[in-house]
Amino acid sequence: MHDGDATLTADLKRQVGDAELVARFRRDADAFTAVYDRYFLDVYRYAVGRLDVQTGEDIAAETFCVAFAQRDRFDPERGGLRPWLFGIATKLMARHRRKEARHYKALMRSGASAGFVEGHEGLVVTSVAAQRLQPQLLKALTKLNPGERDVVLLIAVGQLSHEEVAQTLGIADGTVRSRLSRARKKFQQLIDREEFNG
């Protein structure tokens, strides 16, 4: 490795904006590793939080393969790298909708932490699950349509802003708010019913 390469690597690890990262990886494909370094854990947590660990790992890895292959298509005018990556991951997950619903139903039956692996990955997944996977919420997630579920989980698990969710899904900010509002009503109705039925 030349001194210039080491300087570039150290420089890329510093906080630079998405626009600068894009400019760098367009000049040098190797610079795309900075995108991976910055966003992989976020995409991984989101994918594993929606699916099982193995499928989530596969989705996260595939997201960055697709992003690398399509890096020349990225348009900073349409949003940041993070929403772009979450959009790719969400589209890849669409192939797993039935598996996602079965995953939530299995978690409801067995408890949120059952089925998670031990070790670092298990800690990450358990941490995410502890924040959001309660039996009523799991049941409610299975009742949402795919668009509502994507919005809720991009916000809750992906921790994206409404604006980032709109960019991720290619929809208007008002549509994000509308889907989130409908999902909240469904959650509230289900939780109220559960409390009433005890």
* Residue 42: strand, helix, or coil: helix
Mind listing the pLDDT tens digit for each residue in 94-150?
877 666 666 666 666 665 543 344 444 555 555 555 454 456 677 778 888 999 999
**Tens digits of per-residue pLDDT, 4-35?**
554 454 444 445 688 888 888 888 999 999 99
Residue whose token pair is 């598996």: 99
Residue 134's pLDDT is 59
Taking the C-alpha atoms of residue 110 and residue 116, their distance in angstroms, rounded to an integer, is: 11
Q: What is the DSSP string of 175-194?
A: HHHHHHHHHHHHHHHHHHHH
